[in-house]
Structure 1
């Protein structure tokens, strides 16, 4: 739980954002219940909303000025996760494309509905730049999602394309949330940019920790590995990359077991090193911000992400 280190007053403001979202969606229960697994579940912390509030410390912090930007970030995240149901990574990896009607029209409609709710929240924000920050992030998320998965080999090409893809699909919204918070609080242009870069680095590191957990948590052994990840790319440089790629497309227990053990042997340590490097880059961006309790809280949050990678 990354947010537990935050002060009680800030956690109370995060809870207030969650309540706003529940109020917005309570009148549409029949629609939102379909996407209930993606919206403010007990298993997921509202990290994007928290980042908006934290970034708003670098200016004049008033909850009522930043709450709509924070709610919009969580609604956008829920919308993108709902739309993820429409993308089959295995098909894209093999160069196949769906034709005909959408296989999941309900997910498409619910995702669009959540985007519409997010747009309503953006419109209530006091700074018009919030709309631009989030719209740019959504465009990047869409473009990144439609990109083909990176190759497993060669290593340099695989890493470069994987970083590009997850910067768009995962890190972009973290950066937008930080920029939006700074703008709503009246932070300077330089501070807003530093906050945005920090957010993207944090989002990238957080996604890599999630990829590590695919191979390290007890629950992970019950799920077949079917998606591309940085640990896989590192492992492919040390072993039979063709077999690793084939193992991604099979549920055969023996191949999945070989894939998992191979990645655990060759892919975890270099990925953990990448997380530490990226967190270090994020900390450098904090040096552009004034000494402030908010800066310390952002640093603590990034340290919590680094600990998750261990």
Structure 2
């Protein structure tokens, strides 16, 4: 199964959202235009706009209204990527040069700020205070999540609770409110809004855990960056935490960590149980996501949401 197969029935509206993303970053300032376009053309799954549109199918579907949520949420996600690449000193993203490597850190930071500002301008066209409150609160949590990630760099004493709270703020929250805000913008019933948020949260948690697994199991060709990049940058994810704290060979792994023998740590994680432990946790989140949809009306959107959850559980990139 491929995401493109799942998205196929919605391809016309997704093509429209893609054009609106292009319009949203348009500026006469040439450097900002080039840097923003470079990021946009680097691609991405566009999973947040898709969730907005699918959430909108449970209410009064209006693409002109929904785009005022779908485009800003993807722009906010893009802005965080630009800032992440500066913090991580990343040269590649999705196999292409990052904005900071193609230009420099200053251009990258201002590009991220510009994209974020354009997102806020666009969503301001919606006269719904609830949408603005939810989005503002989520952006605060996103920033807290980024600070937590910096704080926990190379911190092997963090526990599972720290890790889960961090990935909620860093990834799951934006996916959850994509489903939620799509439904709100379409005036869907309150119980639908609640269940879609629960679905999005659980799918988002599984999505990030799966990303953290793929960082060890994927190849540079499929990941668009070297395998083990997170660990090399000091970002300690669930498979590594398990190897350090719970694995049968934890004492040896702690020695490797103390001596910063990253290649050997990556090999130990690949051969150990931590990847299976992480995969089982991701599957539990996906099961909860499917359960959150059980009371919702049966329609094409619900079917697509279930297929996306299955895709996340099976994806290899």
Instruction: Name the TM-score, length of structure 2 as normaliser.
Output: 0.83
Quick one: distance in 1 between partners of 2:213 and 2:55?
A: 27
TM-superposed deviation, 1:283: 0.9
Tell me if 1:50 matches 2:53: no
Aligned to 2:100: none
Contact 2:82–2:109 under 8 Å retained in 1? yes
In 2: Cα distance, 1:164 partner to 1:214 partner: 19
Matching residue within 126, 149, 152 for 2:152: 149
CA distance in 1, matches of 2:236, 2:140: 22
Contact 1:166–1:204 (Cα < 8 Å) also in 2: yes
Distance 1:234 1:66 in 2: 41
Question: Does the aligned pair in 2 maintain the 1:35–1:82 contact within 8 Å?
Answer: no
Aligned to 2:266: 260
> Does 1:297 pair with 2:304?
yes
How far is 1:173 from its partner? Answer: 0.6
**Aligned match of 1:116:** 117
Cα shift at 1:88: 4.8
Q: Distance in 1 between matches of 2:170 and 2:139?
A: 9
Deviates further, 113-122 or 127-136: 127-136
Matched residue pairs, number? 287
Q: Against the structure 1 CA distance between its residues 27 and 283, is the aligned structure 2 distance closer, same or farther, given a 3 Å change threshold? A: same
Contact 1:38 1:81 in 2 (8 A): no
Q: Secondary structure at the match of 1:6?
A: helix
Q: Does 1:235 align with 2:243?
A: yes
Deviation at 1:171, TM superposition (A): 0.9
> In the TM superposition, what is the alpha-carbon distance from 1:304 to its structure 2 partner?
0.3
Which structure 2 residues correspond to residues 191-210 of structure 1 after superposition, within 5 A? 191-210=192-211
1:218 is displaced (CA, Å) by 2.0
Measure, in 1, the Cα distance between the counterparts of 2:136 and 2:147.
Answer: 17
The 5 Å alignment of 1:1-310 reads 2-6=2-6, 8-28=8-28, 29-42=30-43, 44-88=44-88, 104-125=105-126, 127-147=128-148, 148-149=151-152, 151-153=155-157, 158-219=159-220, 224=229, 225-226=231-232, 227-236=235-244, 237-238=246-247, 239-240=250-251, 241-246=253-258, 250=260, 255-266=261-272, 267-308=274-315
For 2:101, the equivalent position in structure 1 comes to none
Q: How many Å separate the matches in 1 of 2:2 and 2:72?
A: 21
Q: TM-score by structure 1 length?
A: 0.85
- Pairwise CA distance, 1:257: 2.7
State the superposition RMSD in angstroms.
Answer: 2.4
Structure 1 CA distance for aligned equivalents of residues 54 and 315 of structure 2: 20
Q: Name the SS of the counterpart of 1:61 in structure 2.
A: coil
- Distance in 1 of aligned mates of 2:226 and 2:117: 37
Would the alpha carbon gap of residues 13 and 246 (structure 1) be closer, same or farther in structure 2, given more than 3 Å must change?
Answer: farther
Unaligned runs of at least 5 residues, structure 2: 90-103
Displacement after TM superposition at 1:24 (Å) = 2.2
Aligned-partner Cα distance in 2 for 1:21–1:134 = 18
Kindly state the Cα deviation for residue 126 of structure 1 after the two structures are TM-superposed: 5.4
Whole-angstrom distance in 1 between the partners of 2:47 and 2:54? 10
Native 8 Å contact 1:53 1:181 kept in 2: yes
CA–CA distance in structure 1, aligned partners of residues 152 and 295 of structure 2: 34
